[in-house]
């Protein structure tokens, strides 16, 4: 329906959007939050567990009411091990926000082709943007409701990432 409203009901556009939507090659690695663990795959796996668990808990309990102990309990990462991946709860929030913004950047860059017309770029960008919102709505609600909880340096970094995706 959304494709039809945008005039993107052709087979090529549907195929391209479907391919982008189903790509599983988006691999998130934080540029800001560094783990003490050297195994990059283990870091990605545990950062993803923290992102998924904390998103659910922050959404249910609120950022300020959620504790590291709750995140540890529900993520399956040990209380001693969590500090190998993040320093504190704020870094977990930064991981969530960075994850969603990097996903926007990746998927928009994959969907929008340089040789497309300006209209086609806009249509594809809007469609991709809303598909991500539909899929990741919990993280996006959290992003807009909890960014004010970040310290100034983290907030500035997230703002920079958001502006970067707006320029795509």
Q: Is residue 87 part of a domain?
A: yes
Q: Is residue 22 part of a domain?
A: no
Q: Is residue 117 part of a domain?
A: yes
Distance CA 81, CA 37 (A): 10
Distance CA 124, CA 122 (A): 6
Task: Output the pLDDT for position 27.
Answer: 86
pLDDT at 10 over 50: no
Q: Is residue 49 part of a domain?
A: yes
- Percent of the chain, pLDDT > 70? 85
Q: For residue 123, what are the domain limits?
A: 2-17+28-166
Task: Output the pLDDT for position 68.
Answer: 96
Mean of the per-residue pLDDT values of the chain: 85
Q: Is residue 104 part of a domain?
A: yes
Report the CATH number at residue 32.
Answer: 1.10.357.10
Task: Output the pLDDT for position 24.
Answer: 54
pLDDT single digits (tens) 104-130: 899 988 888 888 899 998 899 899 889
Q: Is residue 23 part of a domain?
A: no
Task: Output the pLDDT for position 166.
Answer: 75
pLDDT at 164 over 80: yes
pLDDT at 20 over 60: no
pLDDT single digits (tens) 127-146: 988 998 898 888 888 877 88
- For the chain, the domain total comes to 1
- The pair of three-digit structure tokens given for residue 27, joined into one six-digit string: 């691999």
Q: Is residue 12 part of a domain?
A: yes
Q: Is residue 54 part of a domain?
A: yes
pLDDT single digits (tens) 63-95: 999 999 999 999 999 999 999 999 999 999 999
Question: pLDDT category, 15, cuts 50, 70, 90?
Answer: very low
- The pair of three-digit structure tokens given for residue 159, joined into one six-digit string: 């703002």
**Please, are residues 139 and 55 in contact by the beta-carbon 8 Å criterion?**
yes
Distance CA 27, CA 35 (A): 16
């Amino acid at each position: 329906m959304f494709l039809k409203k945008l005039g993107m009901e052709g087979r090529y556009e549907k195929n391209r959007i479907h391919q982008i939507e189903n790509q599983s090659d988006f691999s998130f690695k934080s540029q800001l939050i560094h783990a003490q663990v050297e195994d990059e795959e283990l870091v990605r796996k545990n950062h993803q567990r923290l992102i998924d668990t904390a998103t659910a808990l922050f959404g249910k309990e609120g950022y300020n009411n959620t504790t590291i102990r709750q995140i540890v309990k529900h993520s399956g990462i040990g209380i001693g091990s969590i500090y190998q991946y993040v320093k504190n709860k704020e870094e977990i929030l930064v991981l969530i926000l960075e994850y969603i913004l990097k996903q926007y950047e990746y998927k928009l860059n994959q969907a929008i082709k340089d040789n497309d017309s300006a209209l086609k770029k806009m249509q594809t960008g809007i469609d991709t943007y809303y598909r991500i919102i539909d899929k990741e709505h919990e993280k996006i609600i959290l992003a807009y409701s909890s960014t004010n909880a970040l310290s100034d340096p983290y907030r500035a970094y997230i703002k920079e990432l958001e502006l970067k995706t707006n320029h795509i």
